[in-house]
Amino acid sequence: MRIDNTFGIEAQCHELITYDSEEALREVLNNIHRRHEGLPVLHVGCGSNLLFLGNYNGIVLKSGIKGIRLIKETGDEVLIEVGAGEICDEFIAEAIHRGWYGMENLSLIPGQIGAAAVQNIGAYGVEVCDVIKEVKGLSLKDSSEHLWKRDECKYGYRQSIFKEELWGKYAITRVTFRLSKHFVPKLQYGGLVKAIEQAGLTESTLTAELLRQIIIGIRQAKLPDPKVQGNAGSFFKNPVVLREKAEQLLSMYPDMPHYPAEEGKVKLAAGWLIEQAGWKGKSLGRAAVHDRQALVLVNRGGATGQDIQRLCEAIKKDVAERFGIELSPEVNFI
């Protein structure tokens, strides 16, 4: 059975199973252990951050757990439990409609809520871990339920405990968010401020819905629609380097984009590095670097996962040789 993925890679699996509740997932897992003992199990969302290097010789699970539940409300904030199978962007739209704020900058990032919690998605100065209170999941081994408080999730830049030591061991079932009832825009990124000014808005006239629409417009202008051209959005993480390394590079490239990171470190723009290395708009077989955003690798049609991987390795090699920086993929290779 074909596994859906936004890269448009042709990948088959032994069996694809969608479930719509914790009880249904437990039943599915019991059947797998009884009938298919030994077969590997992979849990996916919308396949928006996966690169299949070939067929998956195992069982693929996908969450269909829906629901948005108000747990607690005060004068300033709300706690909202969301099913892992909800589409993240649809929840953001609903949250804004209900007057719950904090996720506007993540608008139009593809994928389900569960995958967002695993990947720690982020954009324009906001990461989803900023608003996560806790995450629930079931063990793929014994169906036991587990709850992780935010600090237990070990969130970092596009990292979490679910991508490291717990990778492939749990299915996320529900995520609880702590959202504000007061809209306070986060406008750290210069490109976002410029877009707001071009729209004739100021921080005082900006609303959450207007900010969402501006961010959607920015993303649509520079990122290809995966329904038209296969891609997984940003393919590489923006590298975080020691301040000394950043200063060395800035002495050679004064216009190099750079942003403050944790103490003693600086975040660089992977897309800029790739473009400077000459890869923007270039192809390697059926795999290519997008011509408007060098951070995005695309399937020009008929590419395999290995084609994309070869392009990835070629880019990494050239960036390392030119800048002395090792790029790391944001995408999960399967």
* Residues with catalytic roles: 158, 234, 330
Q: How far apart are CA 238 and CA 241, in angstroms?
A: 10
The encoded tokens of residue 316 equal: 């990494």
C-alpha to C-alpha distances, 50 to 7, 33, 112, 121, nearest whole angstrom: 8, 25, 13, 14
Q: Cβ-count burial of 113 within 10 angstroms (0-12 exposed, 13-18 middle, 19+ buried)?
A: buried
Instruction: Give me the sign of the Cα torsion angle 49, 55, 60, 63.
Output: positive
The encoded tokens of residue 25 equal: 């997932």
Is residue 146 within 8 Å of residue 166, measured between CB atoms?
A: no
Alpha helices in the chain (DSSP H): 22-35, 88-98, 113-119, 190-198, 208-222, 243-252, 270-276, 305-323
Q: Cβ-count burial of 202 within 10 angstroms (0-12 exposed, 13-18 middle, 19+ buried)?
A: exposed
Q: Cβ-count burial of 109 within 10 angstroms (0-12 exposed, 13-18 middle, 19+ buried)?
A: buried
Helices and strands in the chain, H and E counts: 8, 19
DSSP string, 37-91: TT--EEEESSSTTEE-SS-EEEEEEEE----EEEEEE-SSEEEEEEETTSBHHHH
